[in-house]
Amino acid sequence: MKQQTQTNQIEWKEVELSKLCDISGGGTPSRTKPEYWGGEIPWLKISNLKDFYVTKYTEAITEKGLNNSSAKLFKRGTILISIFASLGDVAILDIDATTNQAIAGIYNLKENIDKRYLALYLKSLKRYFEGIGRGVAQNNINLSILRNTKIRIPFSNNSPDLKEQERIVKILEESEKLNKKNKKVDELFNEYLKSVFYEMFLKDKNKFENKKGKELFELTYGKGLSEKERDGKGFPVYGSNGVVGKHSKFLVKGPGIIIGRKGSIGEINYSKENFWAIDTTYYLKPLKNMDFMYLYYLLKFYNLKLNSSTAIPGLNRNDVYRINFVDVPLPLQQKFASMVEQVEKMKEKINKTKQNSEELFNSLMQKAFKGEL
């Protein structure tokens, strides 16, 4: 495919990755050698590739550890790509570092190859890498597959066109900024609501009466419903850590609150609709007229992970009944619930924008590397 850019005619070519750069794998020093660890050389794992530009790490090795492993010290600007387990995660080093064997480094790029362009192109191939790596033991792609991967490069005058690569990168980076900004919206709104709840009800400890949990609500055991028994349609089925499936029948009329009894102990979930709570949970029954949304935030402010050191850890409801909870008049509970409703509407609007921004970014990446931007 050809595209006209200013006065240069752009021609797209597919080039094997190995012809554009050098590629090396990482390595892990022996864990039985304490002297290999705790040094000053950053040592990265896949979990460190969360951001496109990597600066954070959780472990470091010594010079001795580096020399006694297949790990290589990658310089700042090296492109990293995961080749094991979580395939195709891509980042650019903003520090000098080494990596474990699940990550490969791409460096010494040939002239007129923009590292950001190459990194974004590799990022767009994540599904491709996942496809060819699936079924292989532990899901992996070897360095040969990586070296033979075809990269689409814009050429002009028989040479990679650096300006065209930079133009594409600028468009994609602006789209990625929007995408990342929207991903933080849920967290910001949740923090806001917690802050409002604290200011309204908890900041002044003498403003409201306190009552024991047993005076406010009852915690009722959920009922077993195995995965085989669920028919996959209808109402949400809640386990201790949230929705685990669907079923055409419900156990509890919504709205309601579900609390993890075993597994994710003390985890709080809220359901607007009718639901089924399985036997690893409690569901809450107020003993007087109370707003469920208020109760949801109230419980989240108290430590319900009251796990006694028993052989089988779990949440004892008698422990919860003994907690002193602030007892707020119903009109104030409803006022807070109304605020939550307004914020949820705002979140829904912005989440639609978030979805669109993700779709926009993915669409732009595909178009960019087909020469259609």
113-127 residue pLDDT tens: 999 999 999 999 988
Tens digits of per-residue pLDDT, 320-364? 999 999 999 999 999 999 999 988 888 788 777 766 777 777 777
Query: Rg (Cα) of the chain, in Å, rounded?
Result: 27
CA–CA separation, 185 vs 182, rounded Å? 5
Q: Confidence class of residue 170 from pLDDT cuts 50, 70 and 90?
A: confident
Tens digits of per-residue pLDDT, 22-72? 999 999 999 899 999 999 999 999 999 988 899 989 899 999 999 988 889
Q: Confidence class of residue 2 from pLDDT cuts 50, 70 and 90?
A: very low
Distances (CA, A) of 89 to 227, 262, 267, 272: 32, 34, 30, 36
**Where is mean pLDDT largest: 70-74, 172-176, 284-288?**
284-288
Query: Is 3's pLDDT higher than 70?
Result: no
Query: What's residue 7's pLDDT?
Result: 45
Q: What percentage of the chain reaches a pLDDT higher than 90?
A: 61
Query: Is 109's pLDDT higher than 50?
Result: yes
For the segment 80-101, the average pLDDT, to the nearest whole number, is: 92
Query: What's residue 174's pLDDT?
Result: 80
User: Do residues 43 and 58 make contact, with C-beta atoms less than 8 angstroms apart?
Assistant: no
Query: What's residue 103's pLDDT?
Result: 94
Cα-Cα end-to-end distance for the chain: 12
CA–CA separation, 306 vs 322, rounded Å? 11
Query: Is 5's pLDDT higher than 70?
Result: no
CA–CA separation, 88 vs 82, rounded Å? 5
Lowest-pLDDT choice from 14-18, 213-217, 230-234, 260-264 = 260-264
Other Cβ atoms less than 10 A from the Cβ of 134: the count is 10
Global pTM reads 0.58
Tens digits of per-residue pLDDT, 193-250? 888 899 899 988 789 999 999 999 999 999 999 989 999 999 999 998 899 999 999 9
Query: Is 185's pLDDT higher than 50?
Result: yes
User: Do residues 121 and 151 make contact, with C-beta atoms less than 8 angstroms apart?
Assistant: yes
Query: What's residue 310's pLDDT?
Result: 53
Query: What's residue 345's pLDDT?
Result: 86
In the chain, what are the domains? 11-160 (3.90.220.20), 209-327 (3.90.220.20)
Query: What's residue 6's pLDDT?
Result: 42
Lowest-pLDDT choice from 62-66, 251-255, 259-263, 312-316 = 312-316
Question: What is the edge-to-edge ordering of all strands in the sheet holding 150-156?
Answer: 2-5, 8-16, 150-156, 159-160
Query: Is 1's pLDDT higher than 50?
Result: no
Query: Is 130's pLDDT higher than 80?
Result: yes
Tens digits of per-residue pLDDT, 286-329? 999 999 999 999 998 887 765 544 555 789 999 999 999 999 99
User: Do residues 109 and 21 make contact, with C-beta atoms less than 8 angstroms apart?
Assistant: yes
Query: What's residue 263's pLDDT?
Result: 81
Other Cβ atoms less than 10 A from the Cβ of 19: the count is 10
User: 326: alpha, beta or left, given left = phi > 0 and alpha = psi -120 to 50?
Assistant: beta
- Average pLDDT value over all residues in the chain: 88
Tens digits of per-residue pLDDT, 286-296? 999 999 999 99
